[in-house]
Structure 1
Amino acid sequence: MRPSFMPPRQVRIGDAAAFVGSTPRAIRHYHQIGLLPEPERGGDGRRRYEYEDMIRLLWIRRMADAGIALDGIRDAFTTGTASAGADSGEGIAGILERLEETLAEQEARLRRQRTAVRRMRTEGSRMGLLSDFVTERLKSLPEGSLRQADLDTLLVTERIFGPLGAAAQATRFIALATHPALREDSDRVDEAEEALDDSVAVDDPRVVRTAAERHAFETALQAVIEESGLDEADDALFDAWDALHPEGGEAGSMSAFEAIGKMPYDFSPARLRCMELAEELSAQDSPVA
């Protein structure tokens, strides 16, 4: 006895799309890019899909769901390995191997992103933007003891000189955060330097006076750093960096010279001259001099 229901030998594009979980538009696209041979049309001018067409559509859908690009699927079918299952390093096998490598890279990137987000939530959004090497240096400080400007400066320094340079500079902010009187002196000198705007001439007496104040402050700051043992912590910092980067530095990073050349500044000529004079005073105090 013949069964009461027999499936059709051919189906229209809408039924084919519904069966494989796709859309007629997607199937038409497969035809356009040569991924699926276009079947003959029936007497009504409509495409008719047979069993073999449905098999290929199912394979296309599964491979696309796995993340294989349509061009890669087409190449796999072109090599003939889709039906033979050959493991020649080409076709589906080769595509899957490359896909696995790509997914591994994506997973590593996602892990880094999750780590960064977790660090930002734990350390605070601003501090979390800095690298682990820098934030580890700052963990001993009380919450809220660092200012926004401190973190901004560290962010710029890390971009120019890398995590090691920013971690070394963090010593300065640790000393300021733990010595209120020193922080007050720092604010006073900063305000004096900021007052040297474009309205101040380079030879204005305030330039020389402010340079002397900056030099005196930096000398006092260095004394505090040495007395508190922070300079010894810096030595350990460099040792830790060398242990993490035995080859010396991070590959592919922008050089400090290139980075400085791309970072704008808003210092007036008077303030730049003040900085030069402060450097000269520091050089005069140097043991080498």
Structure 2
Amino acid sequence: MRIGEIAALVGVTTRAIRHYHHVGLLPEPERRPNGYRAYSVRDAVLLARVRRLTELGLGLDGVRDVLADDAGRELADVLEELDADLARQEAAIGERRARLAALRAAPPAEDGPLSPALAALLAHVPETDSPTAALDREHLTLLDPAGVGGPELYEELGRVAADPAVLALYERLDELAGAATDDPRIAPLAAAMVAAVPDGVFAALPADGRPAGEGFKEALLAELHPGAGGGRPPGHGGLHGEGQGMRGLDGVGGRVPLPVRRLLAHELRSAASLGRWALRRPPHGVAGGEFAAAYTGPQTAMMYGLVFVSLVETVALSVLIPWPAVHRVVLLLDVYGVLLVLALHAACVTRPHVVRRDGSLRIRYGALFDLVVPPEAVASARVDRRFPQGRLVELSEDGVLDLIVGGQTTVALELNRPLPFTRPLGSRGEARTIRFHADDPRALVAALRQPASP
């Protein structure tokens, strides 16, 4: 049979067959004298089996494992893993239908539909005519679809809203509607507002900071009156400046570009990781009973190779450069380069991926990338080895996020909702699928499938 004939017989495309040949899933058949492939019945049987397995939802790596006979996993193990993935997807769909049913049963609202957690919070907020309170309500409905904070944040905010003293704070804010930015009432009110917010609220906020960039901050401040932090000229602090250090952000952040600030922060964290690594301290961010997954395997040899080349270069230049002043400058730069490479590798070693006790997954790359995936956002997790091209963090147009280590990824997470993330230099994106590397991907996937600890 020729390629078109076997494709028609099995019900796949010729392009799919050529791809299976390219990735080594389907062996190349012998060719006729005219150069065309000559497929046998056995090739057709093998191709039909590949099609049935992929239709079940199995990735090509899983199909390869099944077809590898004694060298791979048993079919029963693969199908059990696939069944667990489908069960998680079914549970996620059931949860979404339950949320939809709750929204349909709730009375219509001007700012709906809302998540159940936010709807429960707003249902218990005391009635008030405060314009500032109305703005806060609008801001919460803005953050709700972005998934910022989630139920934990709304639960903590519910405790704040139940405090009768909060209404008095809103009244004091409203009284500042026509105030100047240097009004003496602003500083004590800022201190009172900070004191009214419990630590649990700040703990529930996302670790990567604000939900949007400078444009969001400017639009938000434009809606606030001067006394509450809006409409102020640079260098003047309002309520937000006094309470949360916005004046520092406006001063430093306005002069130093965000990518530079983030690079400096990465270097400081990497230097701290180098000390942790040298002192053999426990991994960063891994509590007792949590699963830590290393990911440095593909890059370790390259990192040590870079260190070796840098050391050879340092010695060679010390011999070749006759000028002491130039030699000292080059030596300083070379030592800095060696320490930087070691710090980057140390950050990757001491900051592994973590499957937490609550079932969430923390995906990291040293101090450059850190993303927490909540368990309810994961539709399926599977071992899926790929060799994508590009930089450390790549996001495709259809929302596939690749966190590439040593030119490969080994784990794929399918999400049931878009998940926001922050790139190393500060820009943001949304992922619907996350592919990343783990040295032992099967152990990580198995840990994700374990029930969350209480």
1:189, distance to aligned residue in structure 2 (A)? 3.7
1:164, distance to aligned residue in structure 2 (A)? 2.5
Contact 2:7 2:13 in 1 (8 A): yes
User: Is it true that 1:14 corresponds to 2:4 in the alignment?
Assistant: yes
1:95, distance to aligned residue in structure 2 (A)? 1.3
Contact 2:121 2:157 in 1 (8 A): no
What TM-score do you get using the length of structure 2 for normalisation?
0.36
Q: CA distance change for structure 1 residues 153 and 59 in 2, over 3 Å: closer, same or farther?
A: closer
Q: CA distance change for structure 1 residues 74 and 168 in 2, over 3 Å: closer, same or farther?
A: same
2:69 matched to which residue of 1? 79
Identity %: 29
User: Residue by residue, what CA displacement relative to the aligned partner does 1:152-195 show, whole Å, maximum 9, x if unpaired?
Assistant: 3588798286342133234369x99xxxxx8xx88764332343
**Residues 196-235 of structure 1 mapped to structure 2, 5 A cutoff:** 196=179, 199-201=180-182, 204=183, 207=186
User: Residue by residue, what CA displacement relative to the aligned partner does 1:42-69 show, whole Å, maximum 9, x if unpaired?
Assistant: 2322111111111111111101100111
User: Is it true that 1:195 corresponds to 2:163 in the alignment?
Assistant: no
Q: State the SS of the aligned residue for 2:181.
A: coil
Measured in 1, the distance between the counterparts of 2:83 and 2:41 equals 31
2:270 matched to which residue of 1? none
1:32, distance to aligned residue in structure 2 (A)? 1.6
1:30, distance to aligned residue in structure 2 (A)? 1.3
1:149 matched to which residue of 2? 136
1:179 matched to which residue of 2? none
55, 65, 71: which one aligns with 1:65: 55
Structure ranking higher in helix proportion: 1
User: Residue by residue, what CA displacement relative to the aligned partner does 1:221-244 show, whole Å, maximum 9, x if unpaired?
Assistant: xxxxxxxxxxxxxxxxxxxxxxxx
1:78, distance to aligned residue in structure 2 (A)? 1.1
Measured in 2, the distance between the counterparts of 1:271 and 1:24 equals 65
User: Is it true that 1:111 corresponds to 2:94 in the alignment?
Assistant: yes
Q: CA distance change for structure 1 residues 148 and 20 in 2, over 3 Å: closer, same or farther?
A: farther
User: Is it true that 1:47 corresponds to 2:28 in the alignment?
Assistant: no
Q: Which runs of 5+ in 2 are unaligned?
A: 211-216, 222-227, 230-236, 244-454
**Corresponding residue pairs, total:** 206
Q: CA distance change for structure 1 residues 139 and 47 in 2, over 3 Å: closer, same or farther?
A: same
Structure ranking higher in strand proportion: 2
Contact 1:207 1:270 in 2 (8 A): yes
2:329 matched to which residue of 1? none
Larger Cα-atom Rg: 1
User: Is it true that 1:97 corresponds to 2:41 in the alignment?
Assistant: no
User: Is it true that 1:166 corresponds to 2:157 in the alignment?
Assistant: yes
Q: CA distance change for structure 1 residues 74 and 167 in 2, over 3 Å: closer, same or farther?
A: same
RMSD of aligned C-alpha atoms?
4.6
**Residues 177-188 of structure 1 mapped to structure 2, 5 A cutoff:** none
Q: State the SS of the aligned residue for 2:162.
A: helix
Measured in 2, the distance between the counterparts of 1:257 and 1:141 equals 19
1:31, distance to aligned residue in structure 2 (A)? 1.4
2:239 matched to which residue of 1? 271
Contact 2:153 2:204 in 1 (8 A): no
